[in-house]
Amino acid sequence: MRRRTALVLLWILTLALPAVSRLGAQEKKEGPPEPKFKVGDMAPDFTLSDQNGNKVTLSSFRGKKNVALAFYIFAFTGG
Amino acid sequence: MQAFQGQLAKLEAADTQVLGISMDSPFSNKAWAEKINVTFPLLSDWGGDTTKEYGLYNQQRKIGRRINYLIDKQGKIAEVQLDSEAIDPTKIVDACERRKLKN
C-alpha cells in the first residue's frame, strides 16, 4: 500500500513539475517595454494638462520650436 | 527634470520647448514642480494613454519608462535618450544648439 502511494505521489510530481518550472520562465520573459518610435519617426500627437491646468498640444509647436519631451516615471522619485 | 531646468536657458535660446511628462496627476506635478523649482510644463498622462501609445508602459510593474525625445520643428524624432542615459540631457542640448547654428 505504502509503495503504491509513493508511486502515485511521484507520478503527480512529474506532471506538476513542468508547469511549476514554466512559472519562473514567464517571469523572466517580461522586461521593460520597447519604445515604439525611434529617430526619423513622427512623434505621436497628444493634448495633456500641465501642472497649472493649461492644455498643451505637442503639434502646436510645429514650425515654431523643437520640443524636448522628457518622460519621467513618477514625481518625487529619482529625477 | 532638475537637469533640464539647469539647461533651460540654453534650450530656450536654441528654440526648444521643454515638456516633462508622466502618469502623475496635475496636483502631484504641481507640488513636485514647486519643490524642485521646475518652471517648464509637466504634463499629466493620467491613466497612461500617451505612455502606452509611445510603447513605454510596463504592464507588469504598472509604470512608465524614462526616455527623452528631441522632436524637431517638423514633428520628427531627432534624438533619443533611454533610461539612465536620459538623466543627463546634454546630448539633446548640444543637438539643439547645433541645429540653431545651421539655420
| Chain B interface mutation, best of A29, A67, A72, highest count of B Cβ atoms under 10 Å | A72
Distance CA B2, CA B33 (A): 9
What's the CA gap between B96 and B68, in Å, rounded? 13
Contact B42 A51 (CB under 8 A): yes
Residue A32's pLDDT is 84
Assess contact for A33 and B23: CB atoms under 8 A.
Answer: no
pLDDT of A1 higher than 80 = no
Ramachandran area for residue A64 (φ above 0: left; ψ -120 to 50: alpha; else beta): alpha
Condensed to tens digits (0 to 9), the pLDDT of residues B44-70 reads 999 999 999 999 999 999 999 999 999
3-state class (DSSP) for residue B85: helix
Nearest-by-Cβ selection for B96 from A38, A66, A75: A66
C-beta separation of B84 from A68 below 8 A: no
Count the alpha carbons within 13 Å of B10 in the hemisphere toward its beta carbon.
Answer: 18
Q: Which ipTM did the prediction report?
A: 0.96
Q: How many residues does chain B have?
A: 103
Residues with pLDDT less than 70, chain B: 103
Residues of A in Cβ contact (< 8 Å) with B80: 35, 38-39
Please tell me whether residue A57 adopts helix, strand or coil conformation. strand
Q: What pLDDT is stored for residue A30 in this prediction?
A: 66
Q: How confident is the model over A8-62, as pLDDT tens digits? A: 888 888 888 876 666 655 455 567 889 999 999 999 999 999 999 999 999 999 9
Are B65 and A73 within 8 A, CB to CB? yes
Residue B39 has a pLDDT of 98
